[in-house]
């Protein structure tokens, strides 16, 4: 993939994996009782932290894999399977339950002062799925220009995540429970297709078929 198609593929993959609309209600729940300005600060810090984490993996992910002796093909297969599992959870509404458990765990430990880092930045925004997606996307790009393009796409998605947090109240009312369920399932189906493509690419790189 080159040019616009490559950028669009990265943007769609990250948007579907991170799922800003789906995280908006969770942000409301975990920041209950905070003022509007405090919510703004938490949203800004969490998206900035997640952005830094994802950029680090976008830049150094392949090096980390090589150091551990893991081939890009093997990681594409493993990452694709992980993303497929996440898509399964999205389609059958299991992902929201798992995220809510993370939030309850954090609140029970009285970690309100660290909400921006845990559980919002990690693992809600920059979780195993989004980190895997970033490494997979980075591995399919060559040259500094394409990697800069990926970083720009990460920034765009983080801006969308920040905006979803800021307008979480209105977004939650607009979508409603049924709207959120439909949107999450649609995104889950799209992520399933993308994850299968990652697996196919990984298999081809390990066992190339002569054409």
Residues 199-208: pLDDT tens digits? 888 888 888 7
Neighbours of 154 (CB within 10 A): 27
Considering only residues 83 and 17, tell me which one the structure prediction assigns the higher pLDDT: 17
Phi (first) and psi of residue 69, to 5 degrees: 75, 25
Please tell me the distance from the alpha carbon of residue 34 to that of residue 19, in angstroms, as a whole number: 23
Neighbours of 8 (CB within 10 A): 12
pTM of the model: 0.76
Determine the average pLDDT of the residues in 104-127: 68
Determine the average pLDDT of the residues in 118-137: 86
Domains in the chain: boundaries: 3-199
Closest to 45 measured CA to CA, from 29, 25, 31: 31
Q: Which residue is listed with tokens 């925004």?
A: 125
- Give the three-state DSSP class for 209: coil
Compute the residue count for the chain. 211
Q: Which residues contact 144 (CB under 8 A, 6 or more apart)?
A: none
Mean pLDDT of the chain, nearest integer: 81
Confidence (pLDDT) at 64: 85
Write the CA distances from 191 to 8, 115, 186, 187, integer angstroms. 14, 27, 9, 6
Which tokens go with 109? 């430990």
Please tell me the distance from the alpha carbon of residue 94 to that of residue 22, in angstroms, as a whole number: 12
33-77 pLDDT, tens digit per residue, is: 778 888 899 899 999 999 999 999 999 988 888 888 888 788 888
Closest to 36 measured CA to CA, from 205, 167, 171, 173: 167
Q: What is the CA radius of gyration of the chain?
A: 17
74-101 pLDDT, tens digit per residue, is: 888 888 888 788 778 778 876 556 555 6
Which tokens go with 163? 């905006």
Contact 194, 83 (CB under 8 A): yes
Neighbours of 72 (CB within 10 A): 21
User: Which ranges of the chain would DSSP assign to H, the alpha helix?
Assistant: 3-18, 20-30, 36-67, 72-91, 95-108, 128-139, 144-166, 168-206
Confidence (pLDDT) at 36: 84
State how far Cα 119 lies from the chain centre.
14
Determine the average pLDDT of the residues in 147-151: 92
Contact 115, 30 (CB under 8 A): yes
Confidence (pLDDT) at 154: 97
């Amino acid at each position: 993939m080159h040019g616009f198609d490559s950028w669009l593929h990265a943007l769609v993959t990250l948007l579907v994996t991170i799922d800003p609309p789906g995280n908006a209600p969770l942000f409301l729940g975990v920041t209950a009782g905070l003022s509007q300005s405090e919510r703004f600060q938490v949203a800004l810090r969490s998206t900035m932290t997640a952005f830094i984490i994802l950029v680090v993996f976008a830049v150094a992910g392949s090096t980390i894999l090589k150091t551990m002796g893991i081939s890009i093909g093997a990681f594409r297969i493993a990452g694709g399977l992980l993303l497929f599992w996440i898509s399964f959870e999205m389609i059958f509404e299991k992902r929201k339950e798992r995220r809510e458990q993370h939030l309850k765990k954090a609140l029970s430990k009285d970690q309100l002062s660290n909400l921006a880092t845990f559980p919002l930045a990690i693992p809600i925004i920059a979780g195993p799925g989004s980190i895997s997606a970033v490494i997979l996307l980075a591995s399919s790009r060559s040259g500094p220009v394409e990697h800069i393009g990926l970083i720009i796409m990460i920034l765009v998605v983080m801006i969308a995540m920040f905006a979803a947090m800021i307008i979480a109240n209105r977004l939650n009312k607009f979508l409603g429970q049924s709207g959120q369920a439909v949107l999450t399932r649609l995104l889950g189906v799209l992520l399933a297709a993308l994850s299968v493509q990652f697996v196919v690419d990984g298999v081809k790189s390990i066992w190339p078929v002569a054409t």
